Structure 1
Amino acid sequence: MERKFKEALAHRRSYYALSNKSLVSNEEIEEIVKFAVKNIPSAFNSQSTRVVLLLGDQHTKLWNIVKDTLREIVSAEAFKSTENKIDKSFASGYGTVLFFEERMIVEGLQKSFPTYQDRFPVWSQHTSAMHQLAVWTMLEDAGFGASLQHYNPLIDEAVTKEWQLPETWELIAQMPFGAPLQEPGAKEFNPIEERVRIFK
């Protein structure tokens, strides 16, 4: 679609009705992820963000892990609606992007710059957030609908084990995406005057 940057940001929304169809090739999806990881800034150029792209059966496997994990801690009655939401809004999609932060890099910066040691975990989250927004916006610009989910830390151990990831990778968020089946509802905005102050 290649919208202008401001148009792409304004168009990005949370989509909760997804199908497992794709309008672009897997290679184009991979390029979106790689582009974001390469070009999004990070504190002290730490490049601490790690991303895992799950497609096909691997995507399905993730959401089965989520359901299996929640089944153990949610009542049987409550799990029915939880399972329905996961199946129709997340597992039904084409893929999932997992966002991680490499703790070893953050801890290394804390040791190297003790004056800012309490800030590096916060800045690491900022870095992850920028990656999330970039990938989300580019996926939507490619025709996908997506949302951002946070089943961590409940699924962390199972995810690390299933995909044999380094234990120092901290899971931050999960982004299921797919062809949107319906448009999201109207978005309400608080008055911009309450959120921005300008001094000239």
Structure 2
Amino acid sequence: MSYVIDPSPVASLPIEGESSRFPVRRIYCIGRNYADHAREMGHDPNREPPFFFLKPADTILEAGRDFPYPPGTTDVHHEIEMVVALKSGGRDIAEADALSHVYGYGIGLDMTRRDLQGEAKKLGRPWDVAKGFDHSAPCTALVPAVRIGHPTKGRVWLNVNGETRQQGDLSDLIWSIPEMIAYVSRLFELKGGDIIMTGTPAGVGAVRRGDVMEGGVEGVGTIKVKVV
């Protein structure tokens, strides 16, 4: 097939310990999936169904690279999350079958221009400029589920310059991984290459140029990113 311009490279993530890479199709992010974080954002976690927003695939920033402070903002926040990578998909996936579609897991940061998100909320506008900017999804290499299973508990944490900012546990997720996959599949047709960012615990906050973010998910791995 020929194109009138050269197509952009396929966004991808490395696989830990392998030379092959995982092609990224879409990035689905679940909002307010830890009760404490929902409360710190001014919401009642017991009264709302799950909701999702998307980041473009090319917002992926491979772990080990610096995070460039984005334009148009003075309030960029960190949100540490476990990442679920799908090897297959479909529509109306049953919860009981959901984990069979998972390739593996990683750790990501849902970087957010919080001031622009606040303005969008006040005006009833989409969050795209707050969530989908360039390099807004730093991610680690993926670890296949055949190696580590399907994590349901384990510490989730983030330090900034050595100071603990975020801390929670996968067991605190309001919506489980099978529930998330099943729910999204009722709204979109999921496919291999899709990634789900599973939500962040309480303690989100601003970063500045020169800050070093270091965090992880117990049993999955760690991530370290410098803001430049």
Normalising to structure 2: TM-score of the pair?
0.28
Greater Cα radius of gyration, structure 1 or 2? 1
Normalising to structure 1: TM-score of the pair?
0.31
Which has the higher relative contact order, 1 or 2, with Cα contacts under 8 A spaced 6 or more apart?
1
